[in-house]
Structure 1
């Protein structure tokens, strides 16, 4: 690096890719008016960085995976070639945060200058380190700034010349050692809010929105990547969602957060964290502009049952004008019946296609109508449905209605779906929520059914890298809206009729059953999100169905508690059997409760 001058940003990058992730790229480039040089420390050989020529100097150093930040920095400071002690200011940060939010760094630093601090950090480390196990829970430094007063101080140089040894080898211990060296320097934790710390052990995550409103320019990634369970356990699941909504409303590029989630978490987790649930009105506002959104929309509808023509046509006719409808069947005579029934419908064009009796709706979507995906931006995929292996027939009828009401329930609902895709460029799939009634009430607790092994084979067949989802949220029933770009990896496989299982088809555990659970995972691999869409009218019924299911589970768990106590008391003299009963009880309670 050239002769040191101005400020330097030392950025510690522990990423999953050999290309700088978008949130890190945005974070680094945001310092263009504040720092002259960039030093990136990473464990990724050949890391690709694009800083668009905004900085005088850029240097990338490798460090062993797993070493703590300050020990790494010790090696860096000892390298006199870097001339770190000659800078006016040193900023140390990691890729554990997003920012800056709602304020640029130049403005933020000007505000801090009035406090005349020699060094500062956003958040404090834990105050104590009792043992090595506890030390692993202490986060690395998110952001630390050292001014020229500190840099030229002899104690600061002595610290880096002799790395301290503490009772545990972690960043908090080392940082406290540095603070002891700098006793005479004026320092502060800018966002050490005791009121928030008293209310939550993880206040930087649980109160991330409150911190932003109080002026903090960064958000911890853990607020989003920490998973939904902690947010649900400690609160109502709103904290991360409200933070995201606030950032989006105030023009922070939330796509960097979405992209970060998409490469680090399974899509079912992302959907919960961002609460990607959309309640669709059955009508449009008076000023709704429909001219620009229906021209590139198509419906692919596979039909098989003669006695469902009328009910299916009632949904098909809800497609808006200027859209295109493709009706596919393995029966020529059935296609003729649809021609006759829709002959009076002139608001959109209809094309009829015949296919072999193999592959059902999936063959219609991806083989018979493979060319459609190249011509249209948004597609609605649907089919008629019966469940002949389940009685009485109303169960199958209810399932089909559940799917179709939430994707084709009215023309207004369809237009609102298209508007939703336009407003959310990362939304790849919009699907009905899973059924929680009748024969499908176990889907929430056992979403894979008998399809997990087949799904792994299917992903291998498609090819590429996917994030495996233990709790898939695919559209059960195989009906959904999709942005055509969201499934390009599947379309690139160019499925042929022979790729689908022949008839008669098993009730579960086939390529088709696994595929419908994998659509969100495939869309994720293409950089798109999946959400649930439900008509406002149907949502009233769905909420009661969900609560009724919870009540049933609660009754079952209560009964299990009584049985466990009585059985356990009777088996107290048989420890092995007693242990087995407890284990079975635990498994059942986790699945049902």
Structure 2
């Protein structure tokens, strides 16, 4: 069926937000869509706030229903709500949902293009055939070519058909995401195509079939730029990282964002608004590649920023034998900065004041604080009266990590912290300019320690501090997702740059020294380490993102270290016959290590691998004979 003039079109838009909020990307989307619709029914799974209801009512009828059946039963409920006889009066019905964002190009362009095509149903994008059923419930036993269910348009011949009515009337309850795909999305297209109904998609990219099975997620920039795809997936910003890295080198999401920001009119703040409040920061930071590599000897002129922004350094000074080093670290701050140094005794305060008496900063204040709460109380109590006066602040403290021996290991941790917060005057300028250029950046922290005894930090970022961090989050009324299987993007070592207004919820709590444990206190599992991990979630709650920052010099070190670690693991794991790809390797190793005797099996395989490499040929022969006899016993 070709659509001509006086087209009567119904839109059924499925919406879900766990908070019941309606983010700005929704009305932006619906405003353009409604130019091509005669009526819109918005079906909401779960709750809807009063404010959200007011927004949505401007764009159509609202049907709020119980949050069950996923999008499939939302569509079914909306179709029944409109009524089958009324549905037959429409030339076209569009089923679509809030998992897509846009439009980049007006939907009118898409509708005008597809009106001229003789079709019974159509969509925006296609998922290509996959010769397996990962969901375990696809009736064909594989994933056929299909229109993705975030946008499917059905025309009158199909609307009026008994087959379409029966499809929805007999739709079983959908109890999981897998069933939503396996019992609807993956089969809808083939089911009706096999019945003789004609279909196509507007984003014609079959030439990418051998490139990727899922173009919209794996190469969204390409679809928008070269194929004029009007939408992108919200999931792009929090999708499973392993799946991305099984297909791409990790560039797909940041490339999408940069293109949207620099080459389209789409308001990218809408992306931040919706993903930060609802999705894990670890996934957002990785998928968006929020790691800033800044020049240690850069040449950026930030005089215009310093003329209009207030910059501060807050530093807790405890070790007088490190005072000369502390003086050097503080000296890299711009002369326009305000410096707040805190310490715990009057004697130390006098020594610090004497050391800094000739400094040329715009303001210098050496404050005496209680010796309770260490550097954390320095920031949350010691300077709470002034902190919100500033635009950008660096927080640091002198550092020994004396509990780690030999002490060079602790010195390496301190180097990592200072190099990537106060690495040089030029680097500090680069940091300030980075905050100025990235309005959603709330926290910039060095990468976590991973050398020597600190190596397990990678994978054990929570340590014994998860429960107490969750308690603190509850007390601070945070609603962003915090889970034990997603690491915090936290400043391990408690040195970082931040935007004070992004940290406001933390400073709104009236902290006192007595909130913190008395000295001496244990290393982990206290409020101090909960605060260390809560910083990035505070920022996220405020609508900003945390990120990692490094000097270019240290980025080279970090890359080399991580490559060395990964290569070492690969040598062992591949040598044990596990591979060849990361997800499979990790899954298999977890299984082997968890299985009875798994460690022994893995160790034996690794020893054999090493011995084969280092033993002379004659001994290798004897070794093979020995293992042969052992197997035959």
Q: Distance in 2 between matches of 1:586 and 1:173?
A: 42
| SS in structure 2 of the partner of residue 311 of structure 1 | helix
Q: Distance in 2 between matches of 1:375 and 1:109?
A: 52
Cα deviation, residue 388, structure 1 = 1.5
Q: Distance in 2 between matches of 1:326 and 1:131?
A: 57
Q: Distance in 2 between matches of 1:154 and 1:107?
A: 23
Q: Distance in 2 between matches of 1:388 and 1:560?
A: 39
Contact 1:450 1:508 in 2 (8 A): yes
Report what 1:417 is aligned to.
431
Q: Give TM-score scaled by structure 2 length.
A: 0.80
| SS in structure 2 of the partner of residue 15 of structure 1 | coil
Farther off after superposition, 467-476 or 453-462: 453-462
Contact 1:318 1:408 in 2 (8 A): yes
Contact 1:330 1:354 in 2 (8 A): yes
Farther off after superposition, 127-136 or 422-431: 127-136
Report what 2:257 is aligned to.
244
Report what 1:572 is aligned to.
none
Cα deviation, residue 271, structure 1 = 0.8
Correspondence list, 1:221-240, <5 A:
221-240=234-253
**Which of 520, 535, 555 pairs up with 1:519?**
535
Report what 2:596 is aligned to.
580
Farther off after superposition, 459-468 or 10-19: 459-468
| SS in structure 2 of the partner of residue 234 of structure 1 | coil
Cα deviation, residue 512, structure 1 = 0.9
Contact 2:300 2:429 in 1 (8 A): no
Q: Give TM-score scaled by structure 1 length.
A: 0.85
Q: Distance in 1 between matches of 2:523 and 2:321?
A: 21
Correspondence list, 1:100-111, <5 A:
100-101=103-104, 103-111=105-113
Q: Distance in 1 between matches of 2:82 and 2:571?
A: 70
Report what 1:31 is aligned to.
33
Report what 1:532 is aligned to.
548
Sort the Cα spacing of 1:260 and 1:78 in 2 relative to 1 into closer, same or farther, 3 A. Answer: closer
| SS in structure 2 of the partner of residue 434 of structure 1 | coil
Q: Distance in 2 between matches of 1:272 and 1:438?
A: 25
Sort the Cα spacing of 1:326 and 1:264 in 2 relative to 1 into closer, same or farther, 3 A. Answer: same
Cα deviation, residue 16, structure 1 = 1.7
Farther off after superposition, 222-231 or 267-276: 222-231
Q: Is 2:151 the counterpart of 1:143? A: yes
- Structure 2, unmatched stretches of 5+, are 1-5, 173-181, 579-591, 606-633
Report what 2:629 is aligned to.
none
Cα deviation, residue 513, structure 1 = 1.9
Q: Distance in 2 between matches of 1:326 and 1:462?
A: 26
Cα deviation, residue 116, structure 1 = 6.1
| SS in structure 2 of the partner of residue 235 of structure 1 | coil
Farther off after superposition, 199-208 or 283-292: 283-292
Q: Distance in 2 between matches of 1:403 and 1:464?
A: 27
Report what 2:211 is aligned to.
199
| SS in structure 1 of the partner of residue 473 of structure 2 | helix
Q: Is 2:485 the counterpart of 1:472? A: no
Contact 2:27 2:56 in 1 (8 A): no
Cα deviation, residue 203, structure 1 = 3.2
Q: Distance in 2 between matches of 1:371 and 1:40?
A: 48
Q: Distance in 2 between matches of 1:154 and 1:458?
A: 55
RMSD: 3.5
Correspondence list, 1:285-304, <5 A:
285=299, 288-292=302-306, 295-304=309-318
**Which of 215, 220, 227 pairs up with 1:208?**
220
Sort the Cα spacing of 1:454 and 1:56 in 2 relative to 1 into closer, same or farther, 3 A. Answer: closer
Q: Distance in 1 between matches of 2:402 and 2:56?
A: 65
Contact 1:462 1:490 in 2 (8 A): yes
Report what 1:491 is aligned to.
507
Contact 1:166 1:173 in 2 (8 A): no
Cα deviation, residue 215, structure 1 = 1.3
Report what 1:571 is aligned to.
none
Sort the Cα spacing of 1:551 and 1:57 in 2 relative to 1 into closer, same or farther, 3 A. Answer: closer
Sort the Cα spacing of 1:113 and 1:319 in 2 relative to 1 into closer, same or farther, 3 A. Answer: same
Q: Is 2:451 the counterpart of 1:437? A: yes
Task: Write out per-residue CA displacement over residues 78-97 of structure 1, whole angstroms, 9 at most, x where no aligned residue.
Answer: 45679444445433211121
Aligned length: 566
Cα deviation, residue 180, structure 1 = 5.8
**Which of 353, 361, 364 pairs up with 1:350?**
364
Contact 1:441 1:549 in 2 (8 A): no
Q: Distance in 2 between matches of 1:26 and 1:339?
A: 56
Q: Is 2:562 the counterpart of 1:549? A: no
Q: Distance in 1 between matches of 2:470 and 2:403?
A: 26
Cα deviation, residue 309, structure 1 = 0.9
Cα deviation, residue 328, structure 1 = 0.5
Contact 1:156 1:181 in 2 (8 A): no
Farther off after superposition, 454-463 or 297-306: 454-463
Task: Write out per-residue CA displacement over residues 9-33 of structure 1, whole angstroms, 9 at most, x where no aligned residue.
Answer: 3211132221223333332223253
**Which of 11, 16, 19 pairs up with 2:18?**
16
Q: Is 2:95 the counterpart of 1:92? A: yes
Report what 2:44 is aligned to.
42
Report what 2:176 is aligned to.
none
Task: Write out per-residue CA displacement over residues 120-177 of structure 1, whole angstroms, 9 at most, x where no aligned residue.
Answer: 211246779989823398996111234xxx33x4862545554464898534545555
| SS in structure 1 of the partner of residue 384 of structure 2 | coil
Cα deviation, residue 112, structure 1 = 4.1
Sort the Cα spacing of 1:524 and 1:287 in 2 relative to 1 into closer, same or farther, 3 A. Answer: closer
Cα deviation, residue 325, structure 1 = 0.7
Task: Write out per-residue CA displacement over residues 389-409 of structure 1, whole angstroms, 9 at most, x where no aligned residue.
Answer: 112332222222211121111
Report what 2:464 is aligned to.
450
| SS in structure 2 of the partner of residue 402 of structure 1 | helix
Task: Write out per-residue CA displacement over residues 288-320 of structure 1, whole angstroms, 9 at most, x where no aligned residue.
Answer: 443456641111100000011111111111111
